[in-house]
Amino acid sequence: MTTSVRPITYINQFRQSVYPGELDLQINKSGVFTAILSPNQTTPLVAGARVKLDPANTQPTMPQVLGALDSDEAVGVITKTIKGGIAAPNIGGAGTPGAIVEVAFFFGPVVWQVANATIAPQQQLESATVTISGQAYPFFQPIAANKLAGLALDPAVQNGVFRMFVLSGLVVGA
């Protein structure tokens, strides 16, 4: 019996954690991220459905997605997969809450960052430089007065590490 180990795609594969500013290469290489259909999703979704991140999700384990209305800002679409038993793998299949789905996203690279405040999934973020012991560090917080820097993929609390879609220079929802 042979066992295969999924390749680790971080720069230092022997490290146990990520660093702020480090790319999430598993997402960046494919343009797809794995998510769970939120328990707040009331109707089944199929492959090709536009989705948004569930702002009620406070667990930083795996992103949770909801179906996006035509007027909502979507982060991507559910992709059709060959994996049995998950959202829309078969013709006419439907995804129900708790199902694992793959979402092709619409934005730039995904980078690990540090939160300067509580952050909800899909919240627009700005940079907030914080000086610690004379050294300036980039932190991110909900957008208030500065330019748009990114969109949160994960929820986070102050000083927590989370993933962010880089959006600098883009206009979201205009």
Residues 98-141: tens digit of each pLDDT = 778 888 887 778 888 889 999 999 999 988 888 888 777 888 99
What's the pLDDT at 16?
61
d(CA 116, CA 5): 35
Question: Is 17 among the domain residues?
Answer: no
Residues 40 and 60 occupy one common structural domain: yes
pLDDT digit string (tens) for 130-165?
Answer: 888 877 788 899 998 887 888 999 999 999 999 988
Confidence band of 91 (pLDDT split at 50, 70, 90): very low
Q: What is the mean pLDDT of residues 73-92?
A: 60
120 located within any domain: yes
| Model confidence band, residue 15 (pLDDT cutoffs 50, 70, 90) | low
**Among 14-23, 35-44, 118-127, where is mean pLDDT lowest?**
14-23
Phi, psi dihedral angles at 46 (to 5 degrees): -120, 165
Helix, strand, coil share (%) of the chain residues, nearest 5: 5, 35, 60
pTM of the model: 0.66
Closest CA to 92 of 51, 38, 35, 47: 47
Distance of CA 11 to the CA centre of its chain: 20
Q: Do 101 and 133 share a structural domain?
A: no
Residue 34 has pLDDT above 50, yes or no: yes
Are 101 and 34 in the same domain?
yes
Which span out of 25-34, 54-63, 151-160, 161-170 was modeled with the highest average pLDDT? Answer: 151-160
Say whether both 37 and 84 belong to one domain.
yes
User: What stretch of H or E contains 27?
Assistant: helix 25-30
pLDDT at 142: 94
C-alpha distances (whole Å) from 57 to each of 11, 15, 52, 75, 147 are 29, 28, 12, 15, 25
Q: Is residue 10 part of a domain?
A: no
Q: Which of 68, 86, 105 is the last residue of a domain?
A: 105
Residue 18 maps to a domain: no
Domain count, the chain: 2
Q: DSSP for 71-94, please give it.
A: TS---EEEPP-S-TTSSS-STT--
Using 50, 70 and 90 to split pLDDT, how confident is the model at 88? very low
Domain that holds residue 116: 110-166
